[in-house]
Amino acid sequence: MSNPKHTVEHLATRLEEEHHRLAFLWLERLDALLRVQRTEVFPTHQLLDHIPALVLEIAAHLRSPDEPIAANTTVMAKAAELGLLRFDQRASVHQVLREYQMFAEILEDFCAGEMAKLGSHADAGAALRAVGRASKAIRVLQQKTVDAFITRYMETIENKTAQLRSFSRLISHEIRQPLGVLQVLSRVITVPEGDEETATLVQSLERNVVRLGEVATKLERLTRLTRRPEGLPHEDVIDFTRLTADVVEQLQSMAEARGVTIEIGDGLPSLVTDAGRAELVLVNLIANAIKYSDPSKSVRRVRIEGEMTPTLVRLTVRDNGLGLPESKLRVIFDQFVRVHAQLDEELGVRGMGLGLSIVREAVEAMRGTITVESAEGDGTSFTLEWPVVRGATSAG
């Protein structure tokens, strides 16, 4: 007789046992796809280690679907690193998408084979749900890789545009200075009566002076047209109400498993910024609030509030969880700082202490600031602030 839990546990265990082989299969397929040397597909030990670790993370995700892969900052950072690597290798977005498609196909074929081995003991519904969770995890990682790829692409375009703009300004300036001299000369030259040759030369000078003036004017117009706009293509007006709702939906299973209620305040503001970074920040802050909720409290709550003042856009993620000791507030955004590491087993938490350092870097890249207030036993509040610019409005 089929057993749903047994089926999922079997798939997760087999993924763990075969994670190196599955990673090698992916490498084999990528070697045929990518136009780089085999040693350059994943050239660093960090990326090479990341591939089998990714399979292990998916296996863990099958066992604990309430732990979304988006909350694993280490794996997400590696997915972004892969996007930057592929950009440097001059791959295309299509190739990046194809890589993840092949990875998904490998996992689907593997799960199908394991289901066949289980035979009548396999629960088809449980297996399909498990494969669906694995596919969703791969899509999240794929999106992170593509976002990093496109962000680097847009940064490159901006740099090239800035170089062209600087070149145009330089040429326009260099033309204007001698052009002014020539304009004066063309006006003061006196042509002796009857000297047709000199008259022809002066007319030619005047025509070319006018033409050079037109060229300089066009270069100046080009410089104005290529000035950096208010928002780059990878920036947009972010409605924090909608974005927060999307993030909460991603983390809902995790919250329900820990008995945590997530509340979204009314009228969260909007902001012109990088959507990918904004989502990364919210996922990490809300996931941390859920992970470190206080098991001893009957009511466990996370609340996201926001406001817009005449000078600031403000967003706050507040919880009533375990809280932080005052001595740790100064280092909480440093790398590898884990305040509650001794409670990992009790809380069912894993991590390397990189999440908040990544959050701080993302907020600063968005031209904002992040601060923290906390008290042990009472909870923690993270406050994000950005200066008001054109395009920031209340969504209420």
- Tell me which residue of 47, 75, 51 sits closest to 137, measured CA to CA: 75
Q: What is the pLDDT of residue 374?
A: 93
Task: Give the Å distances, CA to CA, from 95 to 22, 91, 143, 165, 307.
Answer: 20, 6, 13, 32, 42
pLDDT value at residue 229 = 44
Distances (CA, A) of 90 to 83, 149, 151, 152, 378: 11, 10, 14, 12, 50
pLDDT at 172: 66
Determine the straight-line distance between the first and last CA of the chain, rounded to whole angstroms: 54
396 vs 216, 275, 282, 384, CA distance in Å?
49, 19, 19, 18
Contact yes or no for 238/282 (Cβ under 8 A): no
Per residue in 166-186, pLDDT (tens digit) is 666 666 666 766 777 777 777
Of 142, 138, 146, 143, the C-alpha closest to 62 is 138
Helical pair 196-225 and 124-188, crossing angle rounded to 10 deg = 150
Q: What is the pLDDT of residue 169?
A: 66
Tell me what pLDDT residue 371 has: 95
Interatomic CA distance for residues 158 and 114, integer angstroms? 49
Pairwise CA distance, residues 361 & 83, whole Å = 18
Distance separating alpha carbons of residues 239 and 272, to the nearest angstrom: 9
CB 41 within 8 A of CB 322: no
pLDDT at 392: 47
The pLDDT score that the predictor gives to residue 351 is: 64
- Domain borders along the chain are 1-228, 235-387
CATH number corresponding to 235-387? 3.30.565.10
Low-confidence ranges of the chain (pLDDT < 50): 225-226, 228-233, 391-396
- Per residue in 41-77, pLDDT tens? 565 555 556 667 778 888 887 877 677 777 777 778 8
Question: Which pLDDT score, from 0 to 100, does residue 199 have?
Answer: 82
Which pLDDT score is estimated for 39? 59
Residue-level pLDDT at 164? 67
The model's pLDDT over 204-227, given as tens digits with 9 standing for 90+, comes to 887 777 777 766 665 665 555 445
Backbone angles phi, psi at 329, to 5 degrees: -65, -30
**What are the DSSP E strand ranges found in 294-378?**
300-308, 312-319, 369-375
